[in-house]
Amino acid sequence: MTDTYDVIIAGAGPAGGQAARDLAARGYDVCVLETESEEEFPSRSNKSTAGTFPSTMASFNIPDEVVMNFTDDVVLESPNHHFERHQPGAVLEFADFKNWLVDESRADGAEYRFDARVSKPVMEDGEIVGVRYNGDEEVYGDIIIDATGPSAPLAKALDVCVLEREKQAIGIEYEFEGLDLDPAGYADLTDTMMLRLDHNIAPGGYSWIFHTGEDTAKVGVCYLQNEAHRQNAQSGYTVDDYLQYWVDTDPRFENASRIEGKQHRGSAHVQLPKRMSTDNFMAIGDTVPTVDPLWGEGIDKCMRSGRVAAATADRVLTHSERDTSASELAIYDQLWHERVAPKGKNRLFMTEMLYRASNERYDTLLEDLHRVPQKRLNAVNDGNPLAMFQMLKFEDLSILASTAKDWFSN
């Protein structure tokens, strides 16, 4: 077993798996270190609802075999209203998807070491040249990529990204059977992905029901422990308690039961990254962090960050003089802002405003959505400031002012 590679990747999630896939396909020696055991992979890291859209499926050639259910529409719910939009999607079986990434990259020659918990960088003359894992084992590479999600042991040690506790979103999800997907008074959730804005269920965040076929669905809650959460929180409630409260009070769950062993939980940081690379090093996926602030779409973004990191590595490694210095790898940061999270700042600002709004404002927002032209909705979703401004009402000025105040004081 060689212990020196072109690229070492810590973490076999969507970001690390995709980076390994692209690099192996280009003929580089790649080694992926994953903390979980191969037999149970993914276990703790099987955290995602894994709702995706056709553009992701096509861009990364994701096969139908890892899809649990193809959906037709996206539904937004507030306490008393809903808004439906035709937007095809696919709910993946996240575990199968992660294993598919491993198989694909392995087929092109990537080497995987499971049961390999990365703890810190191996440094030489102030630069990372390898990683330490499982206590005292070491492996070396020209480029090291941290793709371990929020644990980020290498990025933290190199001071590349500082993940803020205040910006950590936590999520919990169960898979259910026996759901009533089309009761009177609610949207028909058959073949849909539904997101609900309701501080009684997810204070400072949102909840969801993603249909996975017949009478089954993925049902979850996530929120940031921010000011909006504190204002609306129920004393002593954990994220699990909120999900239980929803299940106990919503008639759609009256005859529903949890599917044994189908529980997913995890976290991601919703914040703007400052930098993502340094000498011989790039941080990708939720290590950066990369997840879309507004709707928590992380798979597409993380795979795209893996892809632009692989393209950057390819660019610097093809030179006969391999220059993997910070200034050469900074192209990754540039590509990230252009191709992974364009208008990231605007979308983050919009998200912070959205979660500060009241339940009553969520109701009026959803009523308004029926009247807003599709083109403008697309522009809002793309983070267009003018389109965002056009959605505001007079009563939003105080939210706008407090969001702006916090934004500029941080």
Ligand X SMILES: Cc1cc2nc3c(=O)[nH]c(=O)nc-3n(C[C@H](O)[C@H](O)[C@H](O)COP(=O)(O)OP(=O)(O)OC[C@H]3O[C@@H](n4cnc5c(N)ncnc54)[C@H](O)[C@@H]3O)c2cc1C
57 touching ligand X, by CB under 6 A: no
Whether the CB-CB separation of 33 and 9 falls below 8 Å is answered with yes
The helix/strand count (H/E) of the chain reads as: 13, 16
Q: DSSP of 257-301, one letter per residue?
A: EEEEEEEEEEEEE-S--S--EETTEEE-GGGS--S-TTT---HHH
Tokens 């030179």 correspond to 319
Tokens 């954990």 correspond to 238
The number of residues that bind ligand X (CB under 6 A) is 42
Q: Site map for ligand X, 142-161, x if CB under 6 A? A: -----xxx-x-x--------
Residue 20 CB, shortest distance to ligand X, in Å, is 11
Identify which of residues 198 and 387 has a Cβ nearer to ligand X in the complex.
198
Sequence-ordered alpha helix ranges (H) in 187-343: 227-232, 239-249, 299-317, 326-335
> Rounded to whole angstroms, what are the CA distances from 189 to 39, 99, 185, 212, 213?
35, 29, 12, 10, 11
16 touching ligand X, by CB under 6 A: yes
121 touching ligand X, by CB under 6 A: no
106 touching ligand X, by CB under 6 A: no
Whether the CB-CB separation of 33 and 113 falls below 8 Å is answered with yes
Identify which of residues 290 and 403 has a Cβ nearer to ligand X in the complex.
290
30 touching ligand X, by CB under 6 A: no
Separation CA 238–CA 172 (nearest Å): 10
89 touching ligand X, by CB under 6 A: no
Q: How large is the C-alpha radius of gyration of the chain?
A: 22
> Rounded to whole angstroms, what are the CA distances from 395 to 258, 310, 370, 389?
41, 46, 20, 13
Exposed (0-12), middle (13-18) or buried (19+): which is 383, by Cβ within 10 Å? buried
Q: Site map for ligand X, 210-239, x if CB under 6 A? A: ----------x-x-----------------
Q: Work out the number of other CB atoms within 10 angstroms of the CB of residue 157.
A: 15
Residue 163 CB, shortest distance to ligand X, in Å, is 12
Residue 392 CB, shortest distance to ligand X, in Å, is 28
* List of residues 6+ apart from 78 with CB closer than 8 A: 196, 197, 198, 359, 362, 363, 365, 366
Separation CA 238–CA 235 (nearest Å): 9
36 touching ligand X, by CB under 6 A: yes
Identify which of residues 153 and 383 has a Cβ nearer to ligand X in the complex.
153
Can you tell me which of 247, 276, 291, 310 binds ligand X, judged by CB under 6 A?
291
Backbone angles phi, psi at 359, to 5 degrees: -60, -35
Q: Site map for ligand X, 333-352, x if CB under 6 A? A: --------------------
132 touching ligand X, by CB under 6 A: no
Specify the stretch interacting with ligand X by CB under 6 A; choose among 6-14, 60-68, 364-372, 375-383: 6-14
Separation CA 184–CA 251 (nearest Å): 10
Using CB under 6 A as the binding rule, the residues of this chain from 180 to 209 that contact ligand X are: none
Identify which of residues 48 and 69 has a Cβ nearer to ligand X in the complex.
48
Residue 271 CB, shortest distance to ligand X, in Å, is 13
Can you tell me which of 21, 167, 264, 347 binds ligand X, judged by CB under 6 A?
264
Residue 172 CB, shortest distance to ligand X, in Å, is 7
Identify which of residues 279 and 292 has a Cβ nearer to ligand X in the complex.
292
Specify the stretch interacting with ligand X by CB under 6 A; choose among 1-9, 228-236, 297-305, 308-316: 297-305
Q: Work out the number of other CB atoms within 10 angstroms of the CB of residue 297.
A: 15
Can you tell me which of 89, 121, 141, 266 binds ligand X, judged by CB under 6 A?
266
DSSP state of 109: T
User: Which pair of tokens denotes residue 171?
Assistant: 């999520």
Residue 260 CB, shortest distance to ligand X, in Å, is 19
Q: Which residues bind ligand X (CB under 6 A)?
A: 10-16, 33-36, 42, 45, 47-52, 117-118, 147-149, 151, 153, 171, 173, 220, 222, 264, 266, 268, 285-286, 291, 296-300, 302
